A and B are shown apart, each in its own frame.
Chain A
Amino acid sequence: MAGNFFAAVGASVLNLCAEVGGILTLLFRVLICLLPPRFDLDETWRNLHKMGVRSVPIIVLTAFFTGGIMVIQAAVFVKKFGATSLVGWGAGYAVFREIGPMLLGLMFSGRVGSNNTAELGTMVVTEQIDGLRALSIDPVRYLIVPRVLSMIVMLFLLTILGDVVAIVGAALFGTVLADVSLASFWVSFSQNVHVADVTHGLIKAAVFGFIVALTSCHFGITVKGGAVGVGRAVNNAVVAAALGIVLSDYLLTYALP
């Protein structure tokens, strides 16, 4: 029993090291392809559309309700102290710095990251990647780098959109649920939320995009064993992306102003 336990712990630690090593190797290969930048431009353009434009509805929906949830939390606090002038500040600060990038990053990982893993995994299972190699096309240059770049750019841009939608949602729900007028929301928001809060969140978003890209590509191209393997890879990819997002959020919160 005890031996089993230690064997399981050891196996999972070794597995963790193998995955982290794989992701870092992939990172290195991606960086080599970017210096000097040589990758497929058409594929990048296609991915920008697929990952960015197609994710707009889900991001807007998430952000709208996130703003609502944040304003409700602020309202619970405000009702006790009667401090309606704090609602705009509280919602704006929380959405821009933490909750916005975090929840949008998780949704992006669910929508785009896992889709990407499934797509690359299917390519591996149906031997399309081997086909590329046989034509002496580097899969990293042709498939991975465009995806990595698209995810960084698009999560950054989608977070800008999401921030705006979340604030609009917070203002609307604040009027309906917490009796905070739009004017006082706006005054509190515009006087207390600074550009630094927005950039703080946007830098986080770009890093989250990078993490989602690396984990989803790594688990995608290392798929083994048919349909079951693809499902398992997607599962592992989203878990790894969520872990990466939370841990890097922790580190970035210290590092950024």
Chain B
Amino acid sequence: MISNFFASVGAFVLGMVEAFFQALSIAGRTFRGVFHPKGRARGEVLHQMYQIGNRSLLFVTVTLGALGMVLVFQVCLQINKITGDQSQVGPEFIRGMVHAFVPILTAMMLATRVGAGIAAEIGSMTVTEQVDALRMTGVDPVDYLIVPRFLASMIMTLVLGIYATVIVVLAGALMAHTAFDVNYNVFFVFEKITWGDLGVGLTKLVVHGGAIPIVSGYCGLSTTGGSEGVGTATTRAVINSSLTVIILDFVISAIGLMTVQSGT
């Protein structure tokens, strides 16, 4: 029983380490592919930007809007219990959104939607031997499949993150106004945001956006077996890209806290 437990923990860790190094190798080849554009189909980046960005618009609007309302509700509820002074809610909420919550929540949502989509698509291609056909024609699947998705996802996560910030702040202001009578003028105060906050938030968005297609592309390319394999690959893509986003978010937050945000 006990040794079983340790064996399963060990297997989990070993699997993680192996996946980590393989994903790192894919990441390296992706970075190289970005600067040596050969074998990339024309207009593919734009097509992927549409697939990743435009088609996630409604999803991001609904989820982040609801989250903005919930977070403001919880914060105001707690402040009502303690001091009742709601004047700081807006500024601090907007600041927290910019450097912390919007990057991780948007990226988690996109890891779910985009990560699963990429793994399902590339996994199906692997299973139906289309990836092998690419290799036979001398095209590196990383260059052809992952690099366009990497570029598109980085750009579109940044764009969607900025858009999501607007949505979250509007939804939060609406909630604060209707449920707790906070004046819009008191809520919309942007002076609290420092350049450090903005830098940390935008860095997080770009890094998360780049990590999702690399991790899920790796899961898609390493698919084996038929329909069961595609399902497993998609599952792994969702879980690994979400976990990668959480860990990267933690690392960037810690670095940000110790450097650019330390004085504020």
Q: Which residues of A contact B (CB under 8 A)?
A: 54, 57-58, 61-62, 65-66, 68-69, 72-73, 75-77, 79-80, 93, 97-98, 103, 106-107, 109-111, 114-115, 117-119, 121-122, 125-126, 173, 177-178, 226-232, 234-235, 238-239, 242-243, 246-247, 249-250, 253-254
Contact = CB atoms under 8 A, between A and B. Distances in A.
A106 B116 contact: no
Interface of B: 8-9, 12, 59, 62-63, 66-67, 69-71, 73-74, 78, 92, 96, 99-101, 104, 108-109, 111-113, 116-117, 119-121, 123-124, 127-128, 226-235, 238-239, 242-243, 246-247, 249-250, 253-254, 257-258, 261-262, 264
Contact of B231 (A76, A109, A118, A173): A118
Residue from A65, A228, A230 with most neighbouring chain B CB atoms (10 Å): A230
Contact of B235 (A65, A111, A177, A249): A111
Given A69-B253, A238-B116, A239-B112, A231 B62 contact: no
Contacts, number: 174
6 closest A-B pairs by beta carbon, nearest first, are A118-B231, A231-B120, A110-B238, A227-B227, A234-B234, A235-B116
Contacts of A125: 227
Given A234-B116, A239-B112, A106 B250 contact: no
A238 B92 contact: no
B112 A76 contact: no
A103 B107 CA distance: 12
Interface of B is mostly: helix
Given A110-B239, A238-B238, A231 B230 contact: yes
A72 B228 contact: no
Residue from B116, B254, B258 with most neighbouring chain A CB atoms (10 Å): B116
Nearest to A126: B227
Given A62-B246, A114-B238, A177-B257, A228 B69 contact: no
A28 B228 CA distance: 28
A238 B12 contact: no
Contact of B104 (A69, A118, A246): A69
Interface of A is mostly: helix
Given A110-B238, A231-B230, A61 B243 contact: yes
